[in-house]
């Protein structure tokens, strides 16, 4: 868990964290408690690198997500992929 928090920072994680902290502060100042939950969700996405903040929120529906082409051929029975 420590490595997940400390390593792999990119622009999207920084933006999610800063946006979440900003929402938390503004919500606390205005006593909008539901906003603190929303800000906490965004901040935790950035800090713990899950969801879209981790960089894997989109996957092409036209190609399976596999590590390499050899696995692709094995799993598809050596057929051509379209």
Gyration radius (Cα) of the chain, Å:
19
Per residue in 6-42, pLDDT tens? 887 888 889 999 999 999 999 999 999 999 999 999 9
Mean pLDDT of 73-77: 56
**pLDDT beyond 70 at 44:** yes
- What's the pTM? 0.64
The token pair at 28 is 């606390």
Distance (Å, rounded) from C-alpha 80 to C-alpha 33? 54
């Amino acid at each position: 868990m420590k490595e997940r928090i400390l390593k792999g920072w990119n622009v999207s994680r920084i933006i999610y964290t800063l946006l979440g902290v900003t929402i938390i502060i503004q919500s606390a100042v205005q006593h909008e408690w539901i906003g603190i939950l929303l800000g906490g969700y965004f901040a935790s996405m950035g800090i713990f690198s899950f969801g879209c903040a981790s960089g894997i929120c989109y996957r092409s529906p036209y190609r399976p997500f596999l590590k390499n082409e050899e696995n692709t051929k094995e799993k598809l029975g050596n057929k051509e992929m379209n």
